[in-house]
Amino acid sequence: MSQKKKFAGIEREIPQNTRSTVTRLFGQLHGQRFRLTVVAVSIVIYVALSIWNPMYSAVVIDHLWQSVQAAWQSGAPFSVTGAMGRELLQLTFQYLSTWLFYYLQSYLMASVAESLVLELRSQISQKLNRLPLRFFDQNKAGEILSRVTSDLDKISEVLQTGLLKLIVAIGTIIGSLIVMFCYSVPLTCLFLVFMAVCMVVTNIVARKNLACAAQRQETIAVLTGVVEEYYNGRDVIKAYNHEAESIRKVSEAAEANRAANQKADFLTNCVNPLIRLLTRLSQVVIAIISGHAMLNGAMSVGVVQAFFQYVNQTAEPLTEASYMINSLQAALASAERTFELLDEAEEIPDPASPAVVERAAGRVAFEHVSFGYDPERLLMQDISFEAKPGQKIAVVGSTGAGKTTLINLLMRFYEVNGGRITLDGVPTAAMTRAGLRRNFGMVLQDTWLFGGTVAENIAYGRPDATREEIVAAARAAKVDYFIRTMPQGYDTVLDNDAANLSAGQRQLLTIARVFLCDPPIIILDEATSSVDTRTEVEIGKAMKKLMDGRTSFVIAHRLSTIRDADTILFMEHGNIIEQGDHKTLLAKGGAYAALYYSQFE
């Protein structure tokens, strides 16, 4: 786990184990060794040329200056042929080679970074499919998406620019300072004094900028949350005449974001002119001193211009050191967060030799099952019941009683802590999850439709279904007529979570999915909660026909819909406190009877 520090209202992460994160990050690049070797060689040659070019240019400039003076004194025409021409041609070739190796290392490093991000995204994609449902319950979707998107983008950006720039800067600074000391110790020391001041200023501004950036991210998160909340709740806002209040709150959030952006942008934009001012001031002082030395013959024209080249290529990397280190630290924190996700505990692996139930008869049994989201605090204890083939099992109880948890255990979204669940006498733990779930069809209270056509959404569980089978399923779900009224019928494209459809229409489409899959066991979690009474009756008739000969589990709040159930399980605080058919439970006069009569008073 990475160490977290509260900063400016949000959590800012710093890597806790830098060495292990770096080792693991570069371990991911084992397939990029050839490109990395070429990049390393290119960096060495580029740095060597960056140091050598000013030195050689000093020689060329001195020779050129001597040739100009000789031509001036003799009155002969000035010429750059012969040795002078070769020197100028060599210097041109060196600068072109410097550009070539810079381009090569940048191009290959971009390829390495994007390949690394692709590999990590592929690993995360596979990892998410192996994580238990508990992980998604305990982590917000935004946090998970952040690791897949922004964290990996930050790693890519820093590998392409920050890391490359830092390595080149270190080599260039060391080499340039060595040459500068050889040329003039006093001028180099004077330059370093100015650079030390620049680095102190940059470090102070960088720290303040980091705080402002954190505050800006916080205000963006608040503004995004408010806008999303008010956009989704626009009907409620209008119904209660809260337009003015919502505009005021959005304006306040936008103003806070504007102020944070203004402060952060000011700090970002003010530091460069300030550093340039100090750098130019240092160059003016160096120019005065070096000019005096040149007049006294202590330094040549070529050496002075070479010294200024070294000043220019050393000053910027020195002053940007804080920003480089901060960006690398942020990238390592992102990498650490990514590896934390990849190291999360996975689902129990499927058995090596799994039991196979091709099409279940529908006998389901819970045998002394216990379960808890926290193994130390069990929610369910000693749950036992049996559903025979073709029976309708209703699960009722108050909100939070454990009804959906029971179904999640049946589907192996969670693993039981004790006891076992069997399908046709076969323990579900002995089957693969895919093999188990092929025997089930689910209609949830929360409808999920994906980007694509209506036909593709109905055929989500059977992508190979024919158009005739899709239409037949839609008719059975009483949704065919509605689909034909849409602009392109079954080929109408749904997007934005099918926002143009009513909740009932979306639920009808998900019910059609189950009709098409034709599974031996059906799970209905408040499947008709969003449809009107008349449609509910029609769907009930179709469902009754579909359930004929199939085992079905129905979670219901309206007890009128499950009076014909073969067995009713009444749950409270995660446990089954009553079970039996409708008449038996009414005659018992217990919790079920009290709830039933309360709905019909």
Evaluate whether 381 touches 448 at the Cβ level (below 8 Å): no
CA dist 239 and 216 (Å) reads 33
CA dist 352 and 253 (Å) reads 55
Phi then psi for 442, rounded to 5 degrees? -120, 140
Are β-strands 551-555 and 521-525 bridged in parallel, bridged antiparallel, or unpaired? parallel
pLDDT for the residue numbered 78: 62
Q: In 3-state terms, what secondary structure has residue 167?
A: helix
Share in percent of the chain as helix, strand, coil (round to 5): 65, 10, 25
Mean pLDDT for back-to-back runs of 10 residues, the chain (601 residues) = 38 63 80 85 90 85 78 68 79 90 88 85 86 78 72 78 79 88 88 83 75 75 80 79 86 89 78 76 85 82 85 78 70 82 84 88 91 82 90 87 88 89 92 90 79 88 90 87 88 74 80 87 76 68 73 84 88 89 90 83 58
Please, what is the Cα angle at 129 between 127 and 135, to 5 degrees? 80
Host H or E run for residue 586? helix 582-588
- For the beta sheet containing 567-572, the strands, ordered from the edge strand earlier in sequence to the opposite edge, are 440-443, 521-525, 551-555, 392-397, 567-572, 575-580
Q: Where are the alpha helices (DSSP H) in 296-424?
A: 301-319, 321-342, 403-410
pLDDT for the residue numbered 216: 76
pLDDT in tens, 567-595: 999 988 888 999 999 999 999 888 888 88
Host H or E run for residue 402? none
Residue found by looking up tokens 């006998």 in the block: 363
Look up residue 439 and give its DSSP letter: T
pLDDT for the residue numbered 9: 36
Provide the sign of the torsion angle of the four alpha carbons 324, 329, 330, 336, taken in this order.
Answer: positive
CA dist 333 and 335 (Å) reads 5
Which amino acid is located at 585 in the chain? L
**C-beta neighbour count of 564 within 10 angstroms:** 11
99 CB-near residues (< 8 Å, 6+ apart): none
Nearest to 568 by CA among 551, 552, 585: 585
178 CB-near residues (< 8 Å, 6+ apart): none
Structure tokens at 88: 């100028």
**C-beta neighbour count of 188 within 10 angstroms:** 22
pLDDT for the residue numbered 6: 37
In Å, how far from its chain's centre is CA 227? 21
**C-beta neighbour count of 196 within 10 angstroms:** 11
Evaluate whether 445 touches 529 at the Cβ level (below 8 Å): yes
pLDDT in tens, 10-22: 344 566 677 788 7
